[in-house]
Amino acid sequence: MATSGETDLFANGIEPWAASVRSGDISFATTMEFCIDRIQSMPTLNAFEVLDEAVATNLAKAMDTELAEGKDRGPLMGLPIGVKDIMAAQGMPTTNGSNADTEHLSGTEGTVLKQLRLLGAIPVGKTKTVEFALGVTGINAARGTPWNPVDETVHRLPGGSSSGSAVATAAGCIGLGLGTDTGGSVRIPACFTGIFGHKTSVGRWPTDGIFSLSRTLDSVGPLVRCARDAALLHEALFDELVPNFTDIEGLRVGVPKIHFLDHLDRQVASDFENSLAKLTSLGAELIDMEFPEAAERSTLFPLIVPPELLSFLGTDLFLNARNGMDPVTAERAAHGLTVSAVQYLEALRRQEFLIAKANSTFANVDVWVSPTVPFLPMPLADLEEPAQKERALEASRNTQPGNLLEFCATTLPMQRPGTLPSGFQIMMPHGKDAECLGLSVFLEPHLR
- DSSP string for residues in 247-261: --TT-EEEEE-TTTT
Question: Which pLDDT score, from 0 to 100, does residue 3 have?
Answer: 38
What secondary structure letter does DSSP report for 416?
P
185 flagged as catalytic: yes
Count of domains observed in the chain: 2
161 and 279 within one domain: no
Determine, yes or no, domain membership for 329. Answer: no
Determine, yes or no, domain membership for 213. Answer: yes
119 and 34 within one domain: yes
| 252-256 and 285-289 beta bridge pairing | parallel
3-state secondary structure of 371: strand
Question: Which pLDDT score, from 0 to 100, does residue 11 have?
Answer: 97
Q: Which member of 84, 128, 199, 432 is catalytic? A: 84
298 flagged as catalytic: no
203 and 72 within one domain: yes
Question: Which pLDDT score, from 0 to 100, does residue 418 have?
Answer: 87
273 and 224 within one domain: no
Strands (E), 111-201: 122-127, 176-180, 196-199
Q: Say which CATH number the domain at 193 has.
A: 3.90.1300.10
At residue 195, what is the residue type?
I
Strand order in the sheet with 252-256: 48-51, 122-127, 80-84, 176-180, 220-224, 196-199, 408-413, 423-428, 367-371, 252-256, 285-289
What secondary structure letter does DSSP report for 408?
E
Identify the H or E element spanning 268.
Answer: helix 266-281
Question: Which pLDDT score, from 0 to 100, does residue 6 have?
Answer: 57
Q: Which member of 185, 219, 370, 396 is catalytic? A: 185
198 and 107 within one domain: yes
* Ordered alpha helix ranges (H), 23-90: 28-41, 53-68
376 and 230 within one domain: no
pLDDT along the chain (448 residues), means of 10: 62 98 98 98 98 99 99 99 99 98 97 99 99 98 97 98 99 99 99 99 98 99 99 97 98 98 97 98 98 98 99 98 95 98 99 99 99 99 97 98 99 90 99 99 95
Determine the structural domain holding residue 204 and report its residue range.
Answer: 14-238
Determine, yes or no, domain membership for 335. Answer: no
363 and 277 within one domain: yes
Determine, yes or no, domain membership for 305. Answer: no
167 and 89 within one domain: yes
Determine, yes or no, domain membership for 322. Answer: no
CB 99 within 8 A of CB 322: no
Determine, yes or no, domain membership for 434. Answer: yes
Determine, yes or no, domain membership for 48. Answer: yes
- Cα–Cα dist 304/134, whole Å: 13
281 flagged as catalytic: no
Q: Which member of 98, 161, 201, 214 is catalytic? A: 161
- Cα–Cα dist 53/310, whole Å: 35
Question: Which pLDDT score, from 0 to 100, does residue 448 have?
Answer: 83
183 and 63 within one domain: yes
286 and 183 within one domain: no
**Whether the predicted model's global pTM rises above the 0.75 cut:** yes
Final residue in a domain of this structure, among 192, 216, 238: 238
270 and 221 within one domain: no
202 and 345 within one domain: no
Determine, yes or no, domain membership for 382. Answer: yes
Torsion sign (Cα): 429, 430, 432, 433: positive
- Cα–Cα dist 204/238, whole Å: 9
- Cα–Cα dist 183/187, whole Å: 9
Q: Phi and psi dihedrals of 64, rounded to 5? A: -60, -40
